[in-house]
Amino acid sequence: MDTTLHRSPLFHPAGPRRPTGLVGDTTWMLELNGCRYPWADRLYRTMRDFYWKPDDVSLVADHAQFPKLAPVEQETYLRTLGFLIYLDSIQSVNPAWLSQYVAAPEVAACLITQAFFETIHSQSYDYLLTSVVDAATRERVYTLWRDDPVLAARLATLVDPYEAFHQNPTLDRFATLCFADLLLEGVYFWSGFSVFLTLAARQQMTGTAQLIRQIRRDEQQHLGLYTQILRTLREEVPELFTPALEASWRALAEDAAAHEIAWMETITGGQFPGLPPDRVADYIRWCTNQRCEAVDLAAPFPAVVRDPMPWLERQGEMNTGKADFFEAAVVNYQDDLDFSDL
């Protein structure tokens, strides 16, 4: 199936009173009350309620602590940031492009809000590096995306689904891009967060971890957004989800996991305390399974049936009393980390 998507005219009096689907003809009128997709209205409000400012978090202790970290911890911290900086930078622009082809303005509002929060994440990394390391190191981290050969090679192909959609905006490429976003947000970021949350579990770089928890909570909303978009498309355009498309997504997911596993092995060298490579690899496979199953795809790694590092989940949760879009439940974990699992 290969349906080219068209952007509706900005002044479009002949358009439908309300959108007839997630993609298609639209008048662009943003009207949340009585909108077609109430989930998008709820998600938009949840995302907005999570507004935060990076510089509200003190990094004074992190500045003093960073030079005392082991060299492998310092390097893993910086290279992980180099990767996340690139990802959040492209996610600051990509959702706005996608939104131009979405017929439901309430869903487009979620995409635009996502893009805004990705700029806050980018601001966080800027704040982190300015606060924690010297100017030369900061400069090195900001150019890792093209100067680090391993990272540059990876990023050159990671963006393929994005470029493919921008060059030819068909519905199947739109859907594939949304799936790629799920992997970006829910595999690459989750893996990267493990570095900072593992340090924090040992009371190291706790200001950094607080920023990461805020970012992670936003990413959970973004996962909700792309999951809902793909579920909606499956409902509205079932013929799109051919065995060939699903096979290509499975290959994309397997590739994503393989690249992330290789990247983590490269940057930790197997020497990062608390992140042994086999455990990290299974964690990445587990995250990949979760993202696939959320959109009704079979788990690509059926042998991994449980989270091999459940303490990361607890370490990563915010303790604010605010409800999450996914679970609509207040999460208030006590300090119940099981360090025997590290």
Interacting residues toward Fe ion by CB under 5 A: 88, 118, 121, 185, 219, 222
Q: Closest CB to Fe ion among 172 and 185?
A: 185
User: Which alpha helices (DSSP H) does the chain contain, by range?
Assistant: 38-49, 60-65, 71-91, 94-99, 105-132, 135-142, 144-147, 149-158, 160-167, 171-183, 189-201, 206-236, 243-268, 277-294, 310-316
Contact indicator for 221, 46 with CB cutoff of 8 Å: yes
Annotation says 125 is catalytic: yes
Q: What is the largest CA-CA distance in the chain?
A: 65
Distance of CA 259 to the CA centre of its chain: 16
CB of 339 to Fe ion, least distance (A): 29
- Return the amino acid letter for 210: Q
State how far the Cα of 235 lies from the Cα of 227, in Å rounded to an integer. 12
What 8-state DSSP symbol labels residue 3?
P
Residue 91 CB, shortest distance to Fe ion, in Å, is: 5
335's torsion region: left (phi>0), alpha (psi -120 to 50) or beta?
Answer: beta
Residue 196 vs 241, nearer CB to Fe ion: 196
Q: Which residue, 91 or 206, is less far from Fe ion as judged by CB?
A: 91
170 phi, psi to nearest 5 deg: -95, 165
Residue placing its CB nearer to Fe ion in the complex, 43 or 281: 43
User: Tokens standing for 267?
Assistant: 């940057």
Rg (CA), the chain: 20
Q: Bridge partners of 117? A: none
Nearer to Fe ion, 121 or 217 (CB): 121
Reported for 160-167, long-range contacts at CB under 8 A and 24+ positions apart, including other chains, are 161/252, 162/90, 162/94, 165/97, 165/98, 166/97
The tokens describing 192, both together, are 């990267």
Q: Which of 86, 125, 142, 283 is catalytic?
A: 125
Q: How far apart are CA 73 and CA 267, in angstroms?
A: 9
Q: How many CB atoms lie within 10 A of CB 190?
A: 25
When the beta carbons of 5 and 90 are compared against Fe ion, the nearer one is 90
- Alpha-carbon distance 80 to 74, whole Å? 10
Cβ closest to Fe ion, residue 42 vs residue 63: 42
Among 201, 197, 178, residue whose Cα is nearest residue 283: 197
Tell me which residues are annotated as active site: 125
